[in-house]
Amino acid sequence: MASISDSSLSALALASRDLYAAVRRDAPLVQCLTNFVSMNTAANTLLAIGASPAMVHAAEEAPEFAAISGAVVINIGTLSTPWLDSMLLTAAAAARAGRPWVLDPVAHHATAFRRDAVRRLLDLRPAVIRGNASEIIALAGGRSASRGVDARDPVQQAEQAARELARTRGTVVAVTGEVDFVTDGQREVRVTGGSPLMPRVTATGCALTATVGAFAAVAGDDAYAAAVAALSCFGIAGQRAGALADGPGSFAWRFLDALAALESDSLIHASPLR
């Protein structure tokens, strides 16, 4: 991969700072059609960064609600037919209203139902896809080592799959793991930071997807910058929380506190972009 110039990294860091300041200023409304396991964590994470969560998922109202949201987040973790129907209607409504929507294809490769659901959602053109390495490899048509929600493949192994998926689908792909990777098919960057405790806390990845939605809501057409900013916030907050935590329990609340304590300048001076 071609190296990324210092000027490009500086521009990304500045964009991340500005987007973070915009989230704090505007408190964007983020509609989350997410799984039962992650609802509370995702909502608290959005509140910690200054956004406004809305867990509106019923088919009777979710599509209408998309038009008043800043962004929509769709996570298929606890998928069912009624949820899928609502997700499809809401993603289409978000597109009609000009609202970005973010897809988290949780364990989409595990069953035929999930594979079909993600195929139909992809056709509705998400602005960002956020997944672990195994999910992204499988989404691009490759063979992953995972059998469920956990990643069994390293991020580096998913980078080419992410590039191909971004180019084919015209979207931004964020692959998260020990070192995150973000690409829109042309630009790409790795984001370091975080803590080994993050995968040991339920719904951290789902909350990250919701955070991508918050940044997408204030990023205009630059979903790439939105994904990088969200991952940067998580990288910095995770690193700070991990340095003080005794285990996953204390990490969970310390991480929320670290997110809430972030200042926009920290995304420049402590930017984990590489």
Show me where the domains of the chain are located: 6-270
pLDDT for residue 7 = 53
Pick from 44, 46, 32, 173: nearest CA to 94:
32
When pLDDT is cut at 50, 70 and 90, the band that residue 5 belongs to is very low
Task: Check pLDDT > 70 for residue 273.
Answer: no
Is a pLDDT exceeding 50 seen at residue 1?
A: no
And the tokens for 64?
């209408």
3 pLDDT tier (thresholds 50, 70, 90) = very low
Structural element, H or E, at residue 66: helix 62-66
Confidence of residue 57 (pLDDT cuts 50, 70, 90): very high
| CA 46/CA 30 separation, integer angstroms | 8
Q: How many CB atoms lie within 10 A of CB 5?
A: 9
120 is in an annotated binding site: no
Q: Is the pLDDT of residue 148 over 70?
A: no
Any residues with CB less than 8 A from the CB of 175 and at least 6 apart, and which? 131, 132, 133, 136, 155, 158, 159, 162, 181, 182
Share of the chain above pLDDT 90, in %: 82
d(CA 31, CA 222): 19
181-184: Cβ within 8 A, 24+ apart: 181/155, 181/156, 182/224, 182/227, 182/228, 182/231, 183/159, 183/224, 184/223, 184/224
Q: Which amino acid is at 207?
A: A
Task: Give the pTM.
Answer: 0.91
Greater model confidence, 148 or 205: 205
> In the beta sheet, which residues pair with residue 183?
173, 188
pLDDT of residue 84: 97
Q: Cα separation of 154 and 175, whole Å?
A: 10
d(CA 136, CA 35): 19
Mean pLDDT of the chain: 91
Give kind and range of the element (H or E) at residue 131. Answer: strand 128-132
Strands 71-75 and 180-183: unpaired
Annotated ligand binding at 130? The verdict is yes
Q: What is the mean pLDDT of residues 19-36?
A: 96
Cβ neighbours of residue 253 under 8 Å, at least 6 residues apart? none
User: Using one digit for the tens of pLDDT, what is the confidence trace for 187-233?
Assistant: 999 999 999 999 999 999 999 999 999 999 999 999 999 999 999 99
CB distance 125 to 135 below 8 Å: no
> DSSP secondary-structure letter at 3?
P
Note the pLDDT tens digit of each residue in 124-134: 999 999 999 99
Superfamily of domain 6-270: Ribokinase (3.40.1190.20)
Residue 252 banded pLDDT, cuts 50, 70, 90:
very high
Query: What pLDDT is stored for residue 2 in this prediction?
Result: 30
**Tokens of residue 197, six digits:** 């405790």
**Among all chains, which residue has been given the structure tokens 């993050």?**
198
In eight-state DSSP terms, residue 273 is B
